[in-house]
Structure formats: C-alpha cells, structure tokens
Amino acid sequence: MKRKIAAIFAADIAGYSRLVAEDEEETLRRLASYREVVDDFIAKAGGRIFNTAGDAVLAEFPSAVDAVRCAIDIQESLRTRNMAYPPSRQMSFRIGITIGDVVERDGDLLGDGVNIAARLEGLAEVGGICVSRAVHEQVANKLSVQFADIGAQEVKNIPTPVHAYMVAMRREDGTYATPQVKKVAKAVPAPNWMWPLVVGVVSVVAIGVGGFLYFTKLETTKVPSAVAATTPTPASSAVAPSPTPTMAAKAPMPTQSAMAAATPAPTPAAAGGKFPADMVPFIGERVRAYLSNEYSVAGDYKAFALNIGGFVGYGLNQPNEEAARNTALDQCQKRADAAQSPRRCELYAVGDTVVYSHGKPPMPPQPWVRHDAMTERPFASKDFPIVRDPAKVRLENLYAPAAKSRSVALGPGGQYFMVMGASSVDESARRSLESCGAIAGVVCMIVAVDDNFVVPIPTLLRITGFFHAASNASIVADARDEVVRKLGDGMGWNAVAVGTTGRPGLGLKAADEQTAVNSALADCARRDSDCHVIAIGPFTVGPTN
C-alpha cells in the first residue's frame, strides 16, 4: 500500500433505481452508451477509473483542473444526448470532486478523499457538479468557470463539515444558473412551558375519541359482515385493465412466461373482426401477406409472436388458446435463438386480437430516405457515425457484403439496426427504423442504403450526436426557430456555428463540407465572437481531439 494526493472524481446517476424499475432493458442499454461517453472523457483528460459499481464511477486525476474540466465536458455532452428523450426518461449524472490523501491498494483507492468525493456527489444538483474548497482554490483562477459558495456542509460519516462549491452550469439561453442546495432543517426543541399544554390537549382528544367509539359501538359491529359480503375473495377479484403504454414512459417488457400466463388489456381488432396485418411492426412484406391471408382465415385457436428483430412464430388451428400461445412463442424463440438474436419473443396477437403491450415504435415522418448527389458517398464501415469499433466490424462483416435491398438506421445514443435482403428499399428502411426506434425509445434516422451513405457524414470534426436545432442548448432560444426554418429541407451540405452569446451562423446548401463550415463561421462572426461549429448536416460535432 502507498499513500498519495489525488483529485478524486465521483459520479452516479440521479434516480437510477426509478429508471431501472420503469424499463430495465432500455435503462441498462443507455447506461452502457452513456458510460462510453464518460469513460472516453476521463481517459482523454488523463484520469483513471479505479472503481465502478452499477451506475457509479470513481476516478482519479493528477490535477484538479483536469478533473473539473472533464466533469464539465461530461455534463454538457450528456445534456445534449438527453435532449432526445422525454424529461421522465432522461439519464443525468451528479458529480463530486475533491483533493485528498488516499491509500492505493491493488489499483483501488481508499480513504477520506474517496468518501468526501462521494458525499459531494450527493450534494450536487441533477446534471451538476459539486467540489470541495481545495478544488475551488486550485481551479478558480485557471478555468473560466463560475462557482456558487454553499458553505460548510455536514455530510454522513465525515466528522468535520465540508466546505463546498457548486459549479454554475450554463442554461440554454447562455446565462448561468445559480445552484441551489437543499439544507436540512434541524428540529427545534419545544420550550418547557409547552409540555403541560400538549399533555392537556392529548387528554381531551383521547376522551373525545373514546366517547365517540362507545356511542357508535352498535353500528360498527354490523360493518364487518357487510364488508365480507361485498369484498371479493382473491380467487374472484377483478383485475383492472392495464393503461395503454406510450413510448414517452415505456413500461418494462413482460417476460415470456408472464405473457403466456396473462393477456394484457387487448387492443380491439380491425373493423369487421379481421386481423390488422398492416399495423404489425418489424416484419417484411411476405410475413405481412401471410398474416393477411393464412393467419386471418385460420381457426379460432391461433396466436402470433414476434420480436424486435423481426423473427416470428405462429400457432394455428390449435386445440385451445394456451396451446396456440405456447406454440407461437416457442416457434418464434427457436428461430431467434438460431440466429443469435438477443431479443426475446412476445405474443403479438391471440386470435384476431392484438395483445402486444408496447404499441408502435417511434417513427420519423416520410420520406425516410432522400437522395442528394452532393452529399451521398460510398458506404465505408470505418466512417459509420457514433457507434464504437465492434459495431463497425459487425457492419463490415454483415452489412457490406449482404444482398440488396439493405439499410441501416441509427439512434442518437449509438443504437443501430440493419435489415438486409428486403424486397425493396422502402421495406428495408421501414423495418430498420421500427426496430431501431423500439430499441432506442426515440426516432432513429436512415444513414445508409445499399452501397451508399444517404446523409452527410462529417469528416472535418468529430460526430457527437444528433442535431436538433429546435432544442439545441448552444443556440440562443430566440434564434432556434429561424435556424429550423433556414435549414429547410436539409439538402446539400449545411453547417451551424455559434459564438459566445449563442448567436448562430449558417452555411447552407454548400457543394462540400469545407465550404459549409467556412460559410457558417463567417456568418457567425458577423453576429458573435469566438465562433465554433456545432453541427454539420444532421449531426452535432466537436473537436477531433
């Protein structure tokens, strides 16, 4: 063991247990995506992660300046990613930073420095940063960061109060928020003269309640028999129908056994009782034709199962409903397992009634694909945006050599889904968007069709996410509508730059990426200072390093 002085960084997700309870699979998937961002920033800032547990991250930095700068970069990057999700599903970190003496053992760090960083993290606002006085003294004159002094804070298991500061985070309008601290109110003991009065009041209340119960005794003795007659037994109790799910607050996916045991609140079949085959997501046109013909005319005991990846199973002309359910689920799951699909199969319909509990996946407006000769270029897996290297290898091995028609849809958090060998480009685009949208929980975008990228893929700056001008915090609020209007149909190369006050400059419909960037910077310089490019095409961008 050895001792050293280090800047300790502690972070975890606010409300993580609630997010997991609402949708475990989607939360874990996004946690992995957000952790990639956090880990990348820590590594680039010279930090080292020495411990993780669930949603928590502990890291050390050789410099308090590097630790605070890294924390700010993380919070601003994740804030942009969170814009793609409704407020109830946003995943925000709290971060605490201190400088302290720690003990290193087998790569792990122990000591008061680690404990205080964790307590400061608990004081931080959602999406905010809280630092100790030692960190503030090191950073105040080295970074252009505003702080709010919240004074000495009593924290659990630390014997002396910790003097703390909040980092003021930038608002959407370019101003800085004043952090608020939740102060714990201490109970004030009642004065001695109050006790006789309290005893007297309690005595009077007790006498009154006793008298009430005495005079109502005969009436209350009749109630139990009435209640017993009207309360249903567990065997006969009614089950309230489940509320209709929405994508904004998606319920956790039921397991296969739960789906087989109980049918969710059914969605009525299409007019005339015919199975609504046109409404089924994730499937190809051949499966849709089979549902419209063979499935629709089959006997009463039938069921249909699918998964997000488009694998399906049928149970037709079965002896009873349970047999139809089990047959459909088993057939679908065997096909999914054979293809190594990670998604579980679920019942979509029993008879002609839809029982699928997740509704339709979020979809963008049509047209899903727009061809533009100025921006299209040959597909290259190494240039595929946002996703990590293992995904690029998979795209190279599976997508690039696959049969047409094929397409890849991409989500703002790096989720993606590819469909190969479809009957048409329209089918491959629809299916990849539906599956990607179901995985991401938000609208995805078609990035590649067959052998080409069909959206502008920036190369001058690093792609960091999806660009939505209407909600982008870097652009001053009163200018966002104009940016949306001027970007219009998005054809050609477009770029957006902003300056210190968030005033935007635009480079529109350029023939190449460099021209769009130069135009945006020049336009911004006429309105603002210290301009930098924040978006190229449909993506947000940042420095390459």
Give me the residue spans of the domains in the chain: 2-167, 258-354, 377-453, 462-542
Residues 6+ apart with CB under 8 A from 25: 252, 253
> What is the average pLDDT across 246-273?
35
| Mean pLDDT, all residues of the chain | 81
Q: Which residues contact 134 (CB under 8 A, 6 or more apart)?
A: 64, 98, 99, 100
Model confidence over 466-488: pLDDT tens digits? 999 998 989 999 999 999 999 98
Predicted local confidence at residue 178, as pLDDT:
56
Measured from the Cβ of residue 238, the count of other Cβ atoms closer than 10 Å reads 6
Return the pLDDT at 273.
58
The pLDDT of residue 247 is above 60: no
Indicate if the alpha-carbon torsion angle 538, 540, 543, 545 is positive or negative: negative
Q: Which residue has the tokens 């660009």?
A: 467
SS3 of 246-261: the string is CCCCCCCCCCHHHHHH
Q: Average pLDDT in the 381-400 region?
A: 91
Q: For residue 459, name the pLDDT band (cuts at 50, 70, 90).
A: very high
- What distance in Å separates the CA atoms of residue 52 and residue 10, rounded to the nearest whole number? 10
The residue with greater pLDDT, 67 or 263, is 67
pLDDT of 288 strictly over 70: yes
- Is pLDDT of 283 > 90? yes
Beta pairing, strands 346-350 & 353-354: antiparallel
Measure the CA–CA gap between 495 and 487, rounded to whole angstroms.
9
Task: State the pLDDT at residue 179.
Answer: 59
Report pLDDT for 171: 55
Chain centroid to CA 14: how far?
A: 13
Q: How confident is the model at residue 180 (pLDDT cuts 50, 70, 90)?
A: low
With beta carbons less than 8 A apart as the criterion, state whether 329 and 314 touch: no
| Residue keyed to tokens 């849809």 | 409
pLDDT digits (tens, 9 = 90+) for 495-530: 999 999 999 999 999 999 999 999 999 999 999 999
User: In the structure, what pLDDT confidence band is assigned to residue 176 with cuts at 50, 70 and 90?
Assistant: low
**Mean predicted confidence (pLDDT) in 523-540:** 94
pLDDT digits (tens, 9 = 90+) for 44-57: 999 999 988 778 89
pLDDT band at 190 (very low <50, low <70, confident <90, very high): very low
- Give the Cα separation of 425 and 441 in Å (integer): 23
**Percentage of the residues of the chain whose pLDDT score is greater than 70:** 81
Q: How far apart, in whole angstroms, are the C-alpha atoms of residue 174 and residue 146?
A: 13
CATH 3.10.20.600 is right for the domain spanning 2-167: no
CA distances from 154 to 118, 120, 123, 145 (A): 13, 10, 10, 25
The residue type of 217 is K
Q: Name the residue among 149, 145, 93 with its Cα closest to residue 121.
A: 93
- SS3 (DSSP) at 540: strand
Judged against a pLDDT cut of 80, whether residue 251 lies above it is answered with no
pLDDT tens column, 68-87: 999 998 998 888 888 878 88
Rounded to an integer, what distance in angstroms lies between the CA atom of residue 12 and that of residue 121?
A: 8
Q: Which residue has the tokens 């102060």?
A: 183
Average pLDDT over residues 28-32: 86
Query: Which of 117, 115, 132 is CA-nearest to residue 166?
Result: 132
Q: Rounded to 10 degrees, what is the CA torsion of 388, 57, 60, 1?
A: -120
Q: Determine the length of the chain.
A: 545
Residues linked to residue 109 through DSSP beta bridges, in sequence order: 104
Mean pLDDT of 452-466: 93
Which of 19-33, 239-253, 263-277, 376-390 has the lowest average pLDDT? 239-253
Predicted local distance difference test score (pLDDT) of residue 450: 95
For every residue of 463-512, which 3-state class applies, written as one string?
Answer: EEEECCHHHCCCCCHHHHHHHHHHHCCCCCEEEEEECCCCCEEEEEEECC
Q: Which of 286-295's residues contact partners 24+ apart within 8 Å by CB, and which partners? A: 286/423, 287/312
Least confident of 16-30, 58-72, 291-305, 435-449: 16-30
CA 318 – CA 380 distance, rounded (Å): 48
Q: Note the helical H segments in 83-163.
A: 112-123, 133-139
Cβ proximity of 505 and 530 under 8 Å? no
- Yes or no: say if 240 and 265 are a contact pair by the CB < 8 Å rule: no
- The whole-angstrom separation of Cα 539 and Cα 462 is 10
